[in-house]
Amino acid sequence: MTSLENLTQPISVLETLKIKIKEAIEKAKNNPIAESRLIEVEVLNNKMEDNFIKKGYHDTEDIIQEDLILAEILKSTSLADNIIEFEEMLKQIASEFGLSEEWAKDLLAHENAHANVSESLNEDWIGYGAVFIKDEQGALSNIQPIHFSRPKMNWGPKESIIKKIEVLSAPRLYGNELSEGDESDLKINNERLEKIRLNEEKDKIHIAELRGRLGI
């Protein structure tokens, strides 16, 4: 009698959310991306970014490649649509892989900081998630919590990089530390911005010289 009553009970919203997240984790866990592939992806992304800065716009080929790379990474990612789902995801990962509650709490605050600033700057939002990574032997070697957002395609290189820098530095605004990945991405993007500014200065000097020569 009791079991029958249980069967007819509607599943609560929280239970539905828990099941959805469990399935997302399971799917990503069974399809981790190789560490070596992530290194290749980083090289490709840097190449596309350099091309974007040089040309001032995104090549169609690069846009397609970028979308393919994102789709590939998302296959190894458990995706959460919002912060409530992400909190549940981190809890489940912590309990399944023996990580502390503190770990989950810190990462929630950290990724939320990135996401808040990204939203305020009007970047394209994809979602929160955790990327499952395997080593060369195929064994699960890392789980990387992350927020996925990207600059709008119609922004120029300077605007895009300035906003990226703000999003990367976001945890500092909330009193959180930056990750090693944030630090190295920040360094790369600061160097890119510096280079763009130097080129702008050179262009200004060049125009001034031309004006001087032409007497205008």
Please state the closest distance from residue 174 (CB atom) to Zn ion, in A.
Answer: 11
User: Is 85 a residue that touches Zn ion (CB under 5 A)?
Assistant: no
Looking up tokens 């992400």, which residue turns up?
86
| Cα(181)–Cα(198) distance, integer angstroms | 26
Contact set for Zn ion, span 126-155 (CB under 5 A): none
CB-wise, 77 or 179, nearer to Zn ion? 179
Contact range with Zn ion by CB under 5 A, out of 8-16, 22-30, 49-57, 174-182: 174-182
CB-wise, 156 or 181, nearer to Zn ion? 181
Say if CB 186 and CB 165 are below 8 A apart.
Answer: yes
Q: How many residues line the site for Zn ion (CB under 5 A)?
A: 2
Contact range with Zn ion by CB under 5 A, out of 22-30, 39-47, 59-67, 181-189: 181-189
User: Is 189 a residue that touches Zn ion (CB under 5 A)?
Assistant: no
User: Is 118 a residue that touches Zn ion (CB under 5 A)?
Assistant: no
Looking up tokens 């205008």, which residue turns up?
216
CB-wise, 112 or 160, nearer to Zn ion? 112
Q: Sign of dihedral through CA atoms 145, 149, 151, 153?
A: positive
Q: How many CA atoms lie within 13 A of 31 on its CB side?
A: 14
Output the six-digit token pair for 18: 């828990």
Contact range with Zn ion by CB under 5 A, out of 9-17, 28-36, 156-164, 172-180: 172-180
Question: What H or E segment, with its residue span, contains residue 25?
Answer: helix 13-29
Max Cα-Cα span within the chain: 98
Please state the closest distance from residue 20 (CB atom) to Zn ion, in A.
Answer: 25
| Cα(158)–Cα(135) distance, integer angstroms | 36
| Cα(74)–Cα(32) distance, integer angstroms | 10
User: Is 169 a residue that touches Zn ion (CB under 5 A)?
Assistant: no
Residue nearest to Zn ion (CB): 182
Please identify which residue in 80, 182, 189, 192 interacts with Zn ion, judged by CB under 5 A. 182
Q: Name the amino acid, one letter, at 10.
A: P
Instruction: Give residues in contact with Zn ion (CB under 5 A).
Output: 179, 182
